[in-house]
Amino acid sequence: MRVVILENASDIAVQAGNIFVELLTDKPNAVLGLATGATPVPTYKYLIDCYKQGKVSFKDAVSFNLDEYVGLDRNNVNSYYYFMMENLFNHVDMRKDKVHVPNGVAENLEEECARYDAMIEEHGGIDVQLLGIGTNGHIGFNEPSDAFSDGTYITDLAQSTIESNKIYFTNGDMPTKAITMGIGSIMKAKKIILIATGISKAKAIKAMIEGEVTPACPASILQKHDDAVIFLDKDAASLLA
Ligand code: PGA
């Protein structure tokens, strides 16, 4: 993987955003793999600015998000579907029927997992997958465990994830389960961009880049991807040798 250390979050937003702008310029019907959380928000703001300036269009693009909370429907303000609408899609020319987020309230969640993987395959796979990283090294909601996951599945959230994310749940309890693309699904993306900012990510970043490849740090699998680029600010990179 290629590690790029930048001055701050704005510089990361520009670098990561430009990869999507170039992708959509070369391939207007590209398949975008997108992520939620605080870290990608500046990247989405940058993409909205690029759209407003006529530098990029999403009108033929397709998107797949990494994950969704089990039990939250798309109208729930804490759902990741809602997040994507608020932070990106409502502000650009993306067709809503081309937006895919796992359905956290599907009647049969196992079927929903299989359906999600099949849909990604039908669209020819993800061209560029954007990732954040948890303080525990998770990507998507693939929490540290004994084995790398494969396709989309239902997972229990780690206590540290619950602690990090519960601040957003001012209105209702935070779910303890999620539906997430698996490590196998993420690794199939043709290109992967992982972005991380702030000192709270420094330990996970060190383990991901300098540690062994282990499901105890799920992000470490990216060492084995042919085209993964990691954009860090100085704080996130501060423990690297
Ligand atoms: P954050 O989450 O961007 O809100 O820090 C990242 C993640 O948990 O993957």
In a domain, residue 216? The reply is: yes
> Is 134 a pocket residue for ligand 1 (Cβ < 6 Å)?
yes
Q: Looking at ligand 1, which atom is closest to the CA of residue 131?
A: 9
Q: Return the pLDDT at 175.
A: 96
> Is 218 a pocket residue for ligand 1 (Cβ < 6 Å)?
no
Range of the domain at 172: 2-233
Please tell me the distance between residue 49's alpha carbon and the centre of ligand 1 in angstroms.
23
Q: Whose CA is nearest to atom 8 of ligand 1?
A: 134
Q: Looking at ligand 1, which atom is closest to the CA of residue 165?
A: 4
Asked if residue 172 has pLDDT above 80, the reply is no
End-to-end CA gap in the chain: 16
In a domain, residue 13? The reply is: yes
Q: Return the pLDDT at 170.
A: 84
User: Confidence class of residue 173 from pLDDT cuts 50, 70 and 90?
Assistant: confident
Please tell me the total count of domains within the chain: 1
> Is 132 a pocket residue for ligand 1 (Cβ < 6 Å)?
yes
> Is 144 a pocket residue for ligand 1 (Cβ < 6 Å)?
no
In a domain, residue 239? The reply is: no
In a domain, residue 126? The reply is: yes
Q: Which tens digit of pLDDT belongs to each residue from 119-133?
A: 999 999 999 999 999
Asked if residue 171 has pLDDT above 90, the reply is no
Altogether, the residues listed in the chain come to a count of 241
CATH number of domain containing 211: 3.40.50.1360
Q: Looking at ligand 1, which atom is closest to the CA of residue 161?
A: 8
Please identify every residue annotated as catalytic.
67, 136, 138, 143
Burial of 170: CB neighbours in 10 Å, binned 0-12, 13-18, 19+: exposed
Token pair listed for 7: 């001055």
Structural Rg of the chain based on CA atoms: 17
User: Confidence class of residue 41 from pLDDT cuts 50, 70 and 90?
Assistant: very high
In a domain, residue 138? The reply is: yes
In a domain, residue 240? The reply is: no
Asked if residue 217 has pLDDT above 80, the reply is yes
Token pair listed for 209: 């880049």
In a domain, residue 217? The reply is: yes
In a domain, residue 37? The reply is: yes
Q: Return the pLDDT at 110.
A: 97
